[in-house]
Every structure is written in C-alpha cells, then in structure tokens.
Amino acid sequence: MESLKPTDVLDIERIQADFPILAREVKPGVKVVYLDSTATTQKPVQVIETMNEYYRRSNANIHRGIHVLAEEATALYEDARVTVAKFINAPAARQIIFTRNTTESINLVAQTWGRVNLNPADVVILTEMEHHSNLVPWQILAAQKNLQLEFIPVDAQGYLDLEVYRSLLDLNPKLVAFTQMSNVLGTINPAMEMTQMAHDSGAIVLIDGAQSVPHFPVDVQELGADFLVFSGHKMCGPTGVGVLYGRKKLLEEMPPFLGGGDMIKRVQLRSFIPNSIPYKFEAGTPAIAEAIGLGAAVDYLQQVGLDAIAAQEQVVVDYALERLSEVPGVTVYGPEAIDRGGVTAFNLDGVHAHDVAQVLDGDGVAVRAGHHCAMPLHDKLNIPASARASYYLYNSVEDVDKLIDAIYKVKKIFRL
C-alpha cells in the first residue's frame, strides 16, 4: 500500500532557491538530492554574498589596525560573535570563542581545562554514541594523565541507558561529555536532565551541539551547560569556523590553548601575560570571513525559524522512517521519529553501505556511507558501516521518495 504523503511545513521550493548548489545537475537531467547535511550543510546565497562583500569592501586584519578597513573588519567579526551569543542565549558575547570547528573546540577544553583540572584516576564519563571528536581528545588526555574513562551504554533502540548513567555518577566524575544528538542514530538525548544529574554529582558538563544547534533551539542557560561546542559548516555557514561557549569563570581560569598574536596583553623575552576572554583563546589571525559568514548563517536560520526547521525535519524523518520500513531487507538504526532528529542510518541486506551510496549517487541522491566517525557505535551495532541519509531545512518529502526509488534500484541491480 502506498504511503500517505505528508505536507511539508516550510515552503521548500522557496528555500531551495536560496541554495545555488541545489539547482545543479550532477549529470544531464539529474538534479542533486542532497541528503548529507549531517556531514556538512549547503550554503545559502545570503551567506555566500556576505563573505564576498567582506572580501570586496572590508578585507583587513582585525583588532590591531586603526584604518577604516581594519575597523570595519573588526566590527563585522565582533558583530558575528554577538549574533552567535544571542542565538544560543549566552549571557555575554565574550563567552563565545571562535575556533576552527567542533573538534578543535573539544580539544581546546581537553588541553586547557582538562590538563589543569584532571588528575590521575579521575573519572570522565562519555557515551557509546559519541563522534570521534568527543572520544579521541579524552583518550589522548587519559593517556597523558592516567584518567579513568567510563561510558554510558546505548540500548537496542538507540537510547542512552540513564540507569547505568546514574550508577556511573556514583564514581564522582570530574567531567561528563556527551552529544545532544547522535550523528548516526539521530537520537536526541535529554541534555538538560543529564546535565543536572552531572552537576548534582559535582561534575563539569561539555555538550557536543554539532548536530543539535543547527536543527532546533538550544539555550545554554536553560541547559545549564558548562561548555557547548558546535560548527559553522553544519548550520549553513562556511567551513573553518566553529564555536566554543563556556561559563565565564571556567574560561577565565583556563590557560591559553595556543600561543601567538592577539592572545596576549604583554610579552617579554621570558614571560607573557595572556589576554582576556575571548581573545586569550584566539591566537593569530582568525577565520575572519568565515566568522562573518557564520553570523550571516545564524541570521538566515533565525529568519526561517528554528522551530519551523525542527518541525519540517520531523515531518521528513517521520515519512522517511515509514517509507524505509516498507522496503524489504532494509534495517534502520535508532529510535522512533519523535525522539530523533533528521537522520536515518540504514543498511540493505546483502549490499555494503558503500555500494548502496554509489548506486544512489547515480540517481543524484547524495548520502554518506561508512562509520561516520563513530566506529565504537558501529561496533556496538555489530555492523562495519551504514548508509546515512540526513535532512535539513531544504529537504522535502519528495526527496524521501527519490531516496526510496533509488534504493529499489539498488535491489534491482543486486538482484535482491
């Protein structure tokens, strides 16, 4: 029986018109159906033109020059910081540190706060669904300082086992670090509850918001997060710029991450005095155009509306789960639609995920295949890889139909 197609929440045709790449034909007569936004999102013309305008009119280094171009560039860069701070409801713009990406943000915390505050035998709690970016930095630090890493398990439905989490908190951890939304399962974790539980046990909390901040409203004050990290390129912004939000007291007490220009107040031959936050953590010339582009991306997302984006993704992922369940031999990983974001990782019996992705690409359907930088989670699922379709504000229910048609083409090619 054919599925009853739901109605898109957003005007997808109008939104797609803002993204030049979505008009591209990957081969004659075949337009791209982009279902890989969990890896990186496409960029609207508003972001592209904002960055171009900076290079055309105001390109200069920031903070040090007194000429017109330098002052304009500095103002644009710092305005972007204010925009990002308001977007996540940070108490002050100086609590926003611009980094290269989520990965660098987590490494910054590990090698500054972690290096100073964690001692041999201290416990750090992570989860089995973490991206490598929220595993490897702590593994490196654990090896350096002889830390004890513990993990909240993932159950068969794709949820974290909060009962085990409660028992792990009895170990008096110094840090709990977890993703707000899994980049494989799509599971939206109860971040506020988990943060409160960690604080009650005396732990500091780092939340990986790479997959949450772009897709639904995230309020750091409501969450109570000590640190929140995310990337510009996953939220319609450019690559090369990410964000670390931190509590003011923690940031002020942390040592610098990198040494060089702009992160200092005074330098002598044998010593230096670090700058105040946020500049203490932004050594050297930063990604100026990229930060400005991120500010434009935030403006764009707010114009569309985060609640509307979340509602659109819910419609699309709910429909995708229904359609995928109709395809014989398809296994989808993760929870029900109500508890997941716009991600559907799946496998087709008898066909490797890479082969699935390659055949889909022939029909213009762009998905990701592999372990998605979450090898331990795939080990837990007892699979070497998965194909992953991920959705964003520019995806429609028609895109899901094209995905399903392409999967049936895989079955035909492999005679399944």
Fold matches, 12-37+305-413 and 48-303: no
Bridge-based pairing of strands 204-208 and 175-179 is parallel
Residues taking part in catalysis? 373
Tell me the percentage of the chain whose pLDDT exceeds 90.
98
Low-confidence ranges of the chain (pLDDT < 70): 1-3
Tokens linked to 61: 């280094």
Quote the pLDDT of residue 3.
55
Q: Per CATH, the architecture of 48-303 is what?
A: 3-Layer(aba) Sandwich (3.40)
Q: Which amino acid is at 242?
A: G
Backbone angles phi, psi at 150, to 5 degrees: -125, 155
- 227 SS3 class: strand
Q: Which CATH architecture has domain 12-37+305-413?
A: Alpha-Beta Complex (3.90)
* 277-312 pLDDT per residue, tens: 999 999 999 999 999 999 999 999 999 999 999 999
pLDDT of residue 2: 54
Q: Say how far apart CA 312 and CA 309 lie, in whole Å.
A: 5
Amino acid at 210: A
User: What percent of the chain is modeled with pLDDT above 70?
Assistant: 99
Other Cβ atoms less than 10 A from the Cβ of 157: the count is 12
CB atoms within 10 A of CB 70: 17
Spatial contact of 357 and 365, defined as CB atoms under 8 Å apart: no
pLDDT score for 1 = 43
User: Percentages helix, strand, coil for the chain, rounded to the nearest 5?
Assistant: 45, 20, 35
Distances (CA, A) of 62 to 70, 82, 154, 259, 265: 6, 16, 45, 17, 16
Determine the Cα–Cα distance for residues 395 and 241; give it in Å rounded to an integer: 24
Phi, psi of 305 (to 5 degrees): 105, 120
CB atoms within 10 A of CB 38: 28
**What is the value of pTM for the model shown?**
0.96
Q: What is the domain partition of the chain in residue ranges? A: 12-37+305-413, 48-303
d(CA 279, CA 120): 30
Position 5 scores a pLDDT of 87
What are the pLDDT digits (tens) for 179-223? 999 999 999 999 999 999 999 999 999 999 999 999 999 999 999
Q: C-alpha angle 304/306/308, rounded to 5°?
A: 70
Distance of CA 406 to the CA centre of its chain: 27
